[in-house]
Amino acid sequence: MFDILKRIDKPCDLRGLSNIELENLASEMREALFNRLTKIGGHFGPNFGIVEATIAMHYVFDSPKDKFVFDVSHQSYPHKMLTGRRNGYIDDAHFSEDSGYTNPDESEHDFFNVGHTSTSIALAAGLAKARDLKKSNENIIAVIGDGSLSGGEAMEALNIAGAMKSNFIIVVNDNEIAIAENHGGIYENLAHLRETAGKAENNLFKAYGLDYIYEENGNDIQKLIELFKKVKDIDHPIVVHIHTQKGKGYKYAEQNKEPWHWTAPFNRETGLPKVNFGGGESYSQMTIDFILEKAKKDKDFFVITPAMPGVIGMNKEIREQLKDQYVDVGIAEEAAVAVASGAAKNGAKPLLFTNMTFIQRAYDQISQDLCINNNPVTMVMNCSSFNILTDVTHLGIFGLPAFTNIPNLVVLAPSSAEEYKNMLSWSVEQREHPVMILMPGNQVTHREADIDYSEINKYKVEKKGSKTAIIALGDFYQRGEELFDAIKEKFSYEPTLINPRFASGVDKKLIQELEKDHELIITLEDGVVEGGFGQKIASYCGTRNIKVKNYGLEKIFYDRYNPEELLKEVGMTTEQIIEDLKCF
């Protein structure tokens, strides 16, 4: 087991292997992938598809002198195995040593910590620029999947590459699918290129001024070695278009690519997940139910997503049911926001959804294309909680600072199922504001909620007390309830508990009321404190006769943390806050 893989300590060890051994190595690497993924989950399809290409690339090029930049880097597991990190795959005790993405802290063969799409060509172009200034001569290789090509940053970089004059290799790993199906005109072009073995007229890459070469057998090690030898040390930029099979080597993944893009721990024989999620209520299902019902009743309503239907579990059947009321623009967050803004301007009712970490890509479009124009678009952001995605590249904890400081944008933070659903209903119908709704990241809870949110920045006093006011935002409202109970128990008085609902503004009138019989306001928010919700209140109270303590995360790129431990680290467990209260 893993006999050959165990002999590969560094990429150049590959060159001592025979053709047969290289084939067997590929099998061992797939076994190693199974070993890790069945047990702890991770990206499946992208890694199973790129095993042979990774072997061939490391066989031909001389990493780390020659430099690989993997796009998203969710396909870098085989690369990790060949660059001294096989233990993260074959030895369960070492799983936690490897992140799911490239990581310079792990290895000199990794140059960037990445997790967002469409960045590889530009990052690699930067490596090449520095190489040229230093008059060095290594190969720079960007590896990008077809799905990532539709992102603006990738196309900006193709355009830049088209004007470069030195060695630069862009490997386009074309497996015919992003996470869900690909969307957009270029995918027809890629299909033509595949059908014609790279000879179709109107070659997208040539139109960008790039040299181009095609290989149909992107899972054939020897063909790929031959191919990469051809382009090694080339003196100009070239696109190497290889056709691979996503999920290759596992029938369930080959047949059903979308759910096998990423997998939870699963049973290899059956392909079924080891732990059965679902069953109970979820905010995702609530969102789907809302969308389906609304779409049926209102033909002006449509949903739009930049290639992320899965974040709310919107599977193919649901998408087909929605027909033209479902728009996937492909990986293209910027254009997605602009399309939604334009549609709202022309009378439609768009609901845009994706993960918080990805919508950062559209910061400027939210500000300019949407909010200056004040068009009524509803944006539903999943994974905006510290509690869901914990990889440094996928944190949702920067959403409050990023988006609550843009004028005109109403950021709503629901604290219960009823509030979430009522906010959705209110938002898609109103015509006054662009609205961002933060999908809760905690367990579903129930509590009666208002129907109308048109009085902007109006907080709701859920329990009226005195001395201390707890303003607990969104899915941290339950922590506010817990704190309420603890204060009552420890200090024998009832504080005030407030559900602010609006993350993007201060209820000044309420604060003025609180000042009369409260000494302290505590704010709790699910995100980084700096630039976020609570600091607005601290600033408003800066010269008032009421103290303010903001609780939240620090301005740090946390990575793969335990959520409950992190809360402790920043001192915001209920017990810690109770201790703090003794000192204020």
Q: Hey, which residues between 160 and 199 contact its own copies (CB under 8 A)?
A: 160-163, 183-189
Q: Which of 17, 538, 570, 578 binds its own copies (CB under 8 A)?
A: 538
Nearer to its own copies, 369 or 481 (CB): 369
CB of residue 427 to its own copies, shortest distance in Å: 17
Distance in angstroms (rounded) separating the CA atoms of residues 340 and 377 = 6
Question: Alpha carbon 515 to chain centroid distance?
Answer: 41
Close Cβ partners of 65 (under 8 Å, ≥ 6 residues apart)? 138
Instruction: Give, in order, the Cα–Cα distances in Å from 415 to each of 121, 335, 337.
Output: 41, 30, 26
Distance in angstroms (rounded) separating the CA atoms of residues 312 and 382 = 8
Structure tokens at 343: 């549609």
Q: Does 109 bind its own copies (CB under 8 A)?
A: no
Q: Which of 21, 132, 462, 513 binds its own copies (CB under 8 A)?
A: 132
Contact 521, 546 (CB under 8 A): yes
Q: Which of 539, 571, 575, 579 binds its own copies (CB under 8 A)?
A: 539
Kindly indicate which of the ranges 159-167, 226-234, 258-266, 412-420 contains the residues binding its own copies, using the contact rule CB under 8 A.
159-167
Kindly indicate which of the ranges 25-33, 123-131, 260-268, 446-454 contains the residues binding its own copies, using the contact rule CB under 8 A.
123-131
Q: Are strands 460-463 and 378-382 parallel, antiparallel or unpaired?
A: unpaired
CB of residue 45 to its own copies, shortest distance in Å: 22
Q: Does 204 bind its own copies (CB under 8 A)?
A: yes
Close Cβ partners of 582 (under 8 Å, ≥ 6 residues apart)? none
Q: Does 104 bind its own copies (CB under 8 A)?
A: yes
Q: Does 243 bind its own copies (CB under 8 A)?
A: no
CB of residue 142 to its own copies, shortest distance in Å: 10
Q: Which of 75, 119, 148, 387 binds its own copies (CB under 8 A)?
A: 119
CB of residue 377 to its own copies, shortest distance in Å: 9
Distance in angstroms (rounded) separating the CA atoms of residues 144 and 51 = 14
Q: Which of 528, 566, 567, 572 binds its own copies (CB under 8 A)?
A: 528
| Bond before 46 cis per omega within 30 degrees | no
Q: Does 73 bind its own copies (CB under 8 A)?
A: no
Sign of CA dihedral 358, 362, 364, 368: negative
Q: Which of 36, 43, 67, 319 binds its own copies (CB under 8 A)?
A: 67
Query: Interaction with its own copies in 386-405: which residues (CB under 8 A)?
Result: 392-393, 398, 401-402, 404-405
CB of residue 375 to its own copies, shortest distance in Å: 9
Q: Does 323 bind its own copies (CB under 8 A)?
A: no
Phi, psi of 141 (to 5 degrees): -125, 120
Distance in angstroms (rounded) separating the CA atoms of residues 73 and 194 = 24
- How open is the CA angle 138-26-242, to the nearest 5 degrees? 55
Q: Does 302 bind its own copies (CB under 8 A)?
A: yes
Q: Does 129 bind its own copies (CB under 8 A)?
A: yes
Site string for its own copies, 404-443 (x = CB under 8 A): xxxxx-----------------------------------
Determine the angle formed by the axes of helices 19-40 and 51-60, rounding to 10 degrees: 130
Q: Which of 50, 57, 338, 514 binds its own copies (CB under 8 A)?
A: 338
What is the edge-to-edge ordering of all strands in the sheet holding 496-499? 460-463, 496-499, 467-472, 518-528, 547-553
Kindly indicate which of the ranges 49-57, 91-99, 227-235, 346-354 contains the residues binding its own copies, using the contact rule CB under 8 A.
346-354
Kindly indicate which of the ranges 3-11, 109-117, 310-318, 465-473 contains the residues binding its own copies, using the contact rule CB under 8 A.
109-117
Sign of CA dihedral 444, 446, 452, 458: negative
Close Cβ partners of 510 (under 8 Å, ≥ 6 residues apart)? 459, 461, 498
Q: Does 311 bind its own copies (CB under 8 A)?
A: no
